[in-house]
Each structure stands twice: as structure tokens, then as C-alpha cells.
Chain A
Amino acid sequence: MSIDMAQFHQVFFEESFEGLDIMESGLLNLDMGDVDAEEINTIFRAAHSIKGGSGTFGFSAVSDFTHVMETLLDEMRDGRRQVTQRAVDVLLGSVDCLKEMLTAIQDEQEIDEARVAEYQKALEVELNGGQADVAIPEQAEVLAASDESSASSVTEGKGWRIAFSPHADLLKTGNDPVRMFRELSVLGEFSATVDFLGVPGFYDLDPEDCHLSWKLEVTGDIPISEVNEIFDWVEDECDLAFQPLTESEAEESSDISIEHPATETPQEQTSVQAQVEKAEPADKAAPTTKPATTKKETAKSAAGKGSGSIRVDTSKIDTLINMVGELVITQSMLSLVGEHFELNKLDQLKNGLSQLERHTRELQESVMNIRMLPISFVFSRFPRLVHDLSAKLDKKIELVLVGEHTEVDKTVVELLSDPLVHLVRNSLDHGIEMPADRVAAGKLETGTITLEAYHRGGNIVIEVKDDGKGLNKDMLRTKAIEKGLIDEETVLTDKQIYELIFMAGFSTAEQLSDISGRGVGMDVVRRNIQSLGGNIEIISELGKGSTIAIHLPLTLAILDGQSIAVGDERFIIPLGAIIESINIKESMLNRVAGRGETFRLRDEYLPIVRMHEIFDVKTAQATKLTDGLVVVVEGQGLRCGLFIDDLLGQQQVVIKSLEANYRKVEGVSGATILGDGSVALILDIPGLVRLSNQ
């Protein structure tokens, strides 16, 4: 039976990368002073799984490498070895090395053997307590194995007499003497004599115990190792003695054989033996043919990689299947109603339609849910980053992760990673001060960087917070003037000053470092976030620290929207952006010089955006502010009122890009197709708010 092992490779790679992440975060969490045994066990288990899998699937380079790591971890786990920072660093390096090896195998590239050897050497040095050039255990094991195999090739004459007395509890481990007899009879001519002497009287008899013992004989040219192998599992549960048979005994035994009658011809015997011999070389040949097939297998799995896969909780799939089932039932019910429709079935039809609507919505939700991944997929790389960089910069920094389980669309997760790395690096490099400076400023020596994710409305918010020195407004301003980005007369609000760092070619670090780059990053970061439909804002206090908040839509494909009417036109406002809708009274209206129309909402004056003017809708019913409705919306922390004719209904809309199909339009983020087939524009609220504030 041949099984294509390549089909398991993708899963193996995925779980191995997950395992490596677990190892990495585990290693970073290790507290040198007080080592948690369970923590080490978790790291060990991950290494162990990778070793087992890679061995099974034929990636011997990986399993060899992991073996050395595992040995080191095993000794730490058992307390035979001190957990030192140096050992942890070596292990962290090895985790990186394994990642590279697995990626190379997955991409069908050559493994960088020099690099692997370097890390393996470092591990071995660590294993030998800092001394190089001591035989590694693996080699010893190989030697032992080859000893065994050479022993097994020695054949020992005519056969074996075996005294086999199982202990009483042999049966309780699921071992059955009959199984062993069966195997022995495959090796050669087999006979058994049972000894009832050990059987107790009826009243003392425990039927679950084994009371029998046997004298066994197996004749043929059989290596002792093969006989031994049969009893391998029960060595400790029986008394066992082997004795080689002499030639005359062998003949004698075949005469009294029970299992194989004496009529059996010698020819048959030899043919069985020939089969055994034939089978053996075939077994041995298997490993040599393996590398060739392995290569092909990797080729296949590498081809599959490009499509990008996602691991989904089985319960999510179950929900989905359940939902499809419901949908099918509803569909068949509806078609039954439709077959011979009469007006008295109207209620049934309505019922069915509303069920259909509910199931469609639930189905949509669970499909979207499949794409949702916890943000920890992005966060998990930061402990390592902070660990490495703070060591490099001689800073003391603690990383705090909050809300790691917040779920977000897979695409967002993938695209969020790079901008976040940039922001965290910035905080490390420019935000947090050197320990001495912190103490001088009356702060704790150790700085804190917090990565926090949470849901707000239809958005996910990710904050990078540090308790460093904060942004110096005067310095930012001076720098911007120096660089010619603004002129000296420009009056800027605090917010606008902070925004300066997002301008291309702006760098505030007095000395550029290789950590956070050359200041080309922040504008790229903002562009990336904006391309995801999000925005980014900065809050900072000099001497206390900075917070950079990224607001992103939860998903990029579907939006909860409120459809509104302006004349004949339909627009969609993202539901999350709406705060309230009101009828305006004359007394609330106000005109502020230079800011156009505003209205007073409780204590706040908000600008009014006349939708029919901005989008040039001639058919608008209400042109007088008191006749229509005003929807108060918020975008990027600013509010305004949208003046419209009417609110229609709430619905989920599938976002179609306007940019891809037409061009970018100010105030519009996309379009969608409504139930009646007409097109509605989706409003870009931050854009509109910006427009209204200008």
C-alpha cells in the first residue's frame, strides 16, 4: 500500500510554524530566576512535534536539527540544566533557523546548510556546557543503531527454544500470547507446549490473570533479533529465556510439530524463507528511493502554497454546514409553495421569504466569520522584536499586549503587520528613553510599550502606546520649517503638528538609526492604513508618551449601511459612523463667518453638509434645512451633520470599488448594487467631514 505523504505536508508546515511561534513566545516569557516547568514543557512539546513530524514526512535535516534542540530542552525540563539567558538566546536563534529551513523546504529551495551548521554548532556547544567538539548524542545514537543492525544480520543456526512464562498481569496491557505465537509461526516452523502447573484451584482463579506458561520452539535460520522483537513489548512482563537449537533437536521438533504437520515438504519451507529474504532487501531499499519521491512531494505542496490557506475552527465550519442545511430546507419549502400558488398561501410565502432572509444573513455572517482571525496572529511577533531591539539599543522595555483575541479579517491581519512593526520600532527607538534618562526624568527605568486591540462600532482600533518622551511640538515645527514642508507663518493646531510626521521626508531622530529607518516610513504607514480604508491618529504628551491609534474596518468586503434618499439618488452611510438623526429647528441654526452653515447640537456647533449640493442632485425634495433630516456622523474624531431627504432602511451591502472601476471621487469610498439593481454610492464619512471643515 503506498500513500502519498505529500498530502500531509501543508498541514505539517502550518502546524510547525505555529509550533515555532509557540516556542518563540515561550522562550521570551521564560523568567531566568524562576523557571516555570510547564512553560518549558510547552516549548519542549512544540519542538518534539516538529521533530516527530519532520522525521515521518522525510525532512531529515529538520528532524536532526530539532533533535539537538529537544535534547537541550529536555534537560532543562528535567532540571538537569540551568536555564541561562545564553541558552535561551541560542534556542531563539535556532527557532529562526528552523523557520528558515521549513520555509526553504516549503518553497522548494535549498537549505542554507552553512547557516544550519552554525546554529547546530552553537546548540551543541551549549549542550556540552560551553565546550565545542564533543561527540553529539545523535551520532552516538546512530552508532548504537548500526550496532544493532549488524547484530541482527548474524544468523544463529537452526532455530530457538524459548521458555516463556508471562506474569499474571500480561493480559491487562492488551498483550495476547496468541499474537506472539502467530508471529513466531511466520518466522519458521513453530511448536508450543503449554504448562498448566501455574493454574490455581478454581476458587483462587482470577480469570483476568494469565496463569499459563509455554515452552516454544521455532526452527529455521532465524536471527535472534527477530525473535526478540516479537517479545519486545512484554520484556518486563514475563520471564523469557532463549536457547539455540542444535541440528538434531531441530529435526526432532519438526517431527512433533502441532501447527505444521510432518507432511509439509521441505520445499514449502524454503519458499517461505525465500519470501522473508526477499521482503527484507525490499524494506532496506525503501529508504534509498525515498529522497526522490520526497522532492516531488515538496514540489506539489509548494505549488499549493501560493493560494494562501486559512485554518478554521471546526465549530465554525459546522455552523456553516448547519446554515446551508437550513437554507436548503427553506428553498424546498418555497418551491413547494410556488408550484401551485394560490393567494391563500400568501402567509406561507411571506414566512418562507423572511426565513430565507434570516438564513441568508446568518450564512453570510458565518462565511465572514471564517475569514476572521484573532489579532494575536500579528501581535505574536512583537515580543521577539521588542526583546531583540531593546537588547540592541540597551534600553529596558516591557511589552504589554491587550485584546489579542480581538478578531479581524484575514486580509487586514496580513496587511497590518508591516505598518505595526514600523510603529513599534519607532516607539522603541524614538519614544522610550535610555534607562538613565528615564530615571533622571523621574520615571521607572523600564519603559512600557502597549499594543492594544479592541472593537469600536464597526471598526477595530489598534493602539501602539508608549510611556516615552512624547512628541516635542516645537521641535516638530522647527524641523518642518527647516525641511521646507511648511513656512514660518503657518498656524497649526496640535493635531496638525503631529500630522507632520506623516509627511514624506520627515525625520525627527537627531541621529538616524538602522532601527526605525530614515523617516520614509511614516508616510508609507499612513498610506497603507488608508488603503485598507482606515485612518491613523496621534495623541502625545511631552514627557509622558505617545499613543498612535489605527482605526480599521472589520472587514473589507461587507458593510453595515444605512441607506438614505437625496432626491432620486440613494446613498449608503456606514452604520458605524452614524451618531444620531434629527429634525432641525430654526432656532438651532447658525451661520459662522468663514465656516458656513452650522447648527447647535446640545453644547456643540457642527457644520452642515448639504448632500444635494455636494452631489449636485437636482431632484432633492428638501432644500430648506428645517424641511429635511440631518444625520450626525463622525469620522476621524470630527463630526458634522449631513442634510438629506429621508432615511430608508438598514442593510448589509457588498462593497464594490469605485476606484478600480471608475476613479477616486472625493467623499465617496465605493459603490454597491441595491436589491432593485440600481447603484448606490457609499459615503466616505471622514472625507465628507474633512470637506465640511475646510
Chain B
Amino acid sequence: MASILAVDDSASMRQMVSFTLKGAGYTVVEAVDGVDALNKAKAQKFDCVVTDVNMPNKDGITLIRDLRGLPNYKFVPMLMLTTESGMDKKQAGKAAGATGWIVKPFNPEQLLKTIKKVLG
């Protein structure tokens, strides 16, 4: 089963994402911010990255840009979790190499549906 890196500085959101995905059989590794995520992504290759946007240390968009620069992550799906309904964050994310987004608030079913969509 595919492995997913779940990045969020909020523990409750992180746990919710991780619990949902694990429940569906995915292998999930959690990271608390962009820096943590980048280190973990370098140590192990993930099939998908799901990241919050607003985070201390390294935000989600910078994380995606950094990850896309790694040979291992050129084509890996990366999703942003964003409350931003406006286009500017989405566009900034796309420009950094994000595959797509999931708009908060979302429920576990919506999350799973989107993950299944990108992982096939």
C-alpha cells in the first residue's frame, strides 16, 4: 500500500489526517512542519505528500517547492490542505509544483476520496 507523508503543525489535524489514511490502509508518517517534512522525505520516499500551508519554520508552499527540486519527488503527487478560498494561495501552490488542494474544512471521506483520486 502506498505511503503518505502528512504535514501539519496542528496536532489535531495531523492526527485526523493520519488516522483517516491509516484506517484506509495507507502507511502514514507525520511531520510537524516543513523542515521536519523535508528531512523525513529525504530519508524515505513517499508516494504522496499531504501538507498544510500555514506553518512555522517552513510553510507548505516552500516545502512543495523544495520537494520538487529533489529527483525522487519530481512526479510525486503533493496536495495542499488550505482554508484559503481565494485563488492566490492556490496559484502560489501550483507555481511551486503542487498537484492540487483539499479545501478545509474537509471530512475524512472527502480526504480519502481525493487521496484515492491521485493514488489511483
> Residues on A close to B: CB < 8 A?
1, 3, 5, 7-9, 11-12, 14-15, 42, 44-45, 48-49, 51-53, 55-57, 63, 141, 171-175, 179, 182-183, 208, 232-233, 236-237, 286
Instruction: With both chains docked as a complex, state the minimum distance between the C-beta of B60 and any C-beta of chain A, in angstroms.
Output: 12
Q: Give chain B residues whose Cβ lies under 8 Å from the Cβ of A1.
A: 20, 23-24, 108-109, 112
Instruction: With both chains docked as a complex, state the minimum distance between the C-beta of A137 and any C-beta of chain B, in angstroms.
Output: 10
The yes or no answer to B107 lying at the interface (CB within 8 A) is yes
Q: Name the residue on B nearest A55 (C-beta).
A: B105
> How far does the alpha carbon of A175 sit from the alpha carbon of B97 in the complex, in Å?
10
> How far does the alpha carbon of A11 sit from the alpha carbon of B9 in the complex, in Å?
12
- Given the interface pairs A11-B11, A172-B75, the reply to whether A3 lies near B83 with Cβ below 8 Å is no
B 85-110 binary contact with A (CB < 8 Å = 1; else 0)? 10000010010011111001111110
Q: Are A57 and B94 in contact (CB under 8 A)?
A: no
Set B23, B52, B55, B117: member contacting A183, Cβ < 8 A: B117
Provide a sorted-by-A list of 16 A–B residue pairs whose CB atoms are within 8 angstroms. Answer: A1-B24, A5-B108, A11-B15, A14-B11, A49-B13, A55-B83, A55-B104, A56-B13, A173-B98, A174-B75, A174-B97, A174-B98, A179-B120, A183-B117, A232-B100, A237-B94
> How far does the alpha carbon of A14 sit from the alpha carbon of B99 in the complex, in Å?
32
Instruction: With both chains docked as a complex, state the minimum distance between the C-beta of A175 and any C-beta of chain B, in angstroms.
Output: 5
> How far does the alpha carbon of A12 sit from the alpha carbon of B9 in the complex, in Å?
12
Instruction: With both chains docked as a complex, state the minimum distance between the C-beta of A279 and any C-beta of chain B, in angstroms.
Output: 11
Q: Name the residue on B nearest A180 (C-beta).
A: B117
Q: Are B23 and A48 in contact (CB under 8 A)?
A: no
The total number of A-B Cβ pairs within 8 Å is 102
Instruction: With both chains docked as a complex, state the minimum distance between the C-beta of A495 and any C-beta of chain B, in angstroms.
Output: 48
Q: Are A15 and B10 in contact (CB under 8 A)?
A: yes
Q: Are B83 and A174 in contact (CB under 8 A)?
A: no
Q: Which of B53-70 contact A (CB under 8 A)?
A: 54-56, 68
Q: Give chain A residues whose Cβ lies under 8 Å from the Cβ of B91.
A: 236
The yes or no answer to B76 lying at the interface (CB within 8 A) is yes
> How far does the alpha carbon of A172 sit from the alpha carbon of B74 in the complex, in Å?
6
Instruction: With both chains docked as a complex, state the minimum distance between the C-beta of A545 and any C-beta of chain B, in angstroms.
Output: 38
Q: Are A52 and B108 in contact (CB under 8 A)?
A: no
Q: Name the residue on B nearest A311 (C-beta).
A: B11
> How far does the alpha carbon of A45 sit from the alpha carbon of B53 in the complex, in Å?
10
B 35-73 binary contact with A (CB < 8 Å = 1; else 0)? 000000000000000001011100000000000100000
Q: Are B104 and A52 in contact (CB under 8 A)?
A: yes
> How far does the alpha carbon of A174 sit from the alpha carbon of B98 in the complex, in Å?
7
Q: Are B83 and A12 in contact (CB under 8 A)?
A: no
Q: Are B109 and A5 in contact (CB under 8 A)?
A: no
Q: Name the residue on A nearest B53 (C-beta).
A: A48
Apart from A5-B108, A52-B10, A174-B98, what 5 extra A-B contacts exist at CB < 8 Å? A1-B24, A1-B112, A183-B117, A233-B101, A236-B91
Q: Name the residue on A nearest B101 (C-beta).
A: A233
Q: Give chain B residues whose Cβ lies under 8 Å from the Cβ of A63.
A: 105
- Given the interface pairs A1-B112, A56-B107, A179-B118, the reply to whether A173 lies near B99 with Cβ below 8 Å is yes
Q: Are A52 and B105 in contact (CB under 8 A)?
A: yes
Q: Are A11 and B117 in contact (CB under 8 A)?
A: no
> How far does the alpha carbon of A14 sit from the alpha carbon of B10 in the complex, in Å?
10
Q: Give chain A residues whose Cβ lies under 8 Å from the Cβ of B12.
A: 8-9, 11-12, 15, 53, 57
Q: Are B83 and A51 in contact (CB under 8 A)?
A: yes
Instruction: With both chains docked as a complex, state the minimum distance between the C-beta of A98 and any C-beta of chain B, in angstroms.
Output: 15
Q: Give chain B residues whose Cβ lies under 8 Å from the Cβ of A236.
A: 91, 94
Q: Are B19 and A52 in contact (CB under 8 A)?
A: no
Q: Are B56 and A45 in contact (CB under 8 A)?
A: yes
Instruction: With both chains docked as a complex, state the minimum distance between the C-beta of B66 and any C-beta of chain A, in angstroms.
Output: 14
> How far does the alpha carbon of A48 sit from the alpha carbon of B59 in the complex, in Å?
13
Q: Name the residue on B nearest A12 (C-beta).
A: B12
Q: Give chain A residues whose Cβ lies under 8 Å from the Cβ of B52.
A: 52
The yes or no answer to B78 lying at the interface (CB within 8 A) is yes
- Given the interface pairs A11-B11, A52-B10, A233-B101, the reply to whether A182 lies near B120 with Cβ below 8 Å is yes
Q: Name the residue on A nearest B48 (C-beta).
A: A174
> How far does the alpha carbon of A1 sit from the alpha carbon of B112 in the complex, in Å?
9
Most chain A Cβ neighbours within 10 Å, of B55, B78, B107, B117:
B107
Q: Are B19 and A173 in contact (CB under 8 A)?
A: no
Q: Are A49 and B94 in contact (CB under 8 A)?
A: no
The yes or no answer to B77 lying at the interface (CB within 8 A) is yes
Set B20, B81, B99, B107: member contacting A174, Cβ < 8 A: B99
Q: Are A56 and B112 in contact (CB under 8 A)?
A: no
Q: Give chain B residues whose Cβ lies under 8 Å from the Cβ of A141.
A: 85
Q: Give chain A residues whose Cβ lies under 8 Å from the Cβ of B16.
A: 3, 5, 8, 56-57
Q: Name the residue on B nearest A169 (C-beta).
A: B97
Instruction: With both chains docked as a complex, state the minimum distance between the C-beta of A239 and any C-beta of chain B, in angstroms.
Output: 16
Q: Are A3 and B19 in contact (CB under 8 A)?
A: yes
Set A11, A12, A42, A174: member contacting B118, Cβ < 8 A: A174
Q: Are A53 and B94 in contact (CB under 8 A)?
A: no
> How far does the alpha carbon of A175 sit from the alpha carbon of B98 in the complex, in Å?
9
Set B15, B74, B105, B112: member contacting A208, Cβ < 8 A: B74
Q: Give chain A residues whose Cβ lies under 8 Å from the Cβ of B76.
A: 174
Set A9, A49, A174: member contacting B54, Cβ < 8 A: A49
Q: Are A3 and B108 in contact (CB under 8 A)?
A: yes
> How far does the alpha carbon of A53 sit from the alpha carbon of B109 in the complex, in Å?
16
> How far does the alpha carbon of A255 sit from the alpha carbon of B6 in the complex, in Å?
44
Q: Give chain A residues whose Cβ lies under 8 Å from the Cβ of B108.
A: 1, 3, 5
Q: Are B68 and A53 in contact (CB under 8 A)?
A: no
Q: Give chain B residues whose Cβ lies under 8 Å from the Cβ of A3.
A: 16, 19-20, 23, 108
Set B19, B54, B68, B100: member contacting A233, Cβ < 8 A: B100
Instruction: With both chains docked as a complex, state the minimum distance between the C-beta of A155 and any C-beta of chain B, in angstroms.
Output: 22
- Given the interface pairs A45-B54, A52-B104, A233-B100, the reply to whether A174 lies near B11 with Cβ below 8 Å is no
> How far does the alpha carbon of A501 sit from the alpha carbon of B106 in the complex, in Å?
58
Q: Give chain A residues whose Cβ lies under 8 Å from the Cβ of B54.
A: 44-45, 48-49
Set A42, A51, A56: member contacting B106, Cβ < 8 A: A56
Set A11, A15, A48, A173: member contacting B83, Cβ < 8 A: A48
Q: Give chain B residues whose Cβ lies under 8 Å from the Cβ of A51.
A: 83
> How far does the alpha carbon of A49 sit from the alpha carbon of B14 in the complex, in Å?
11
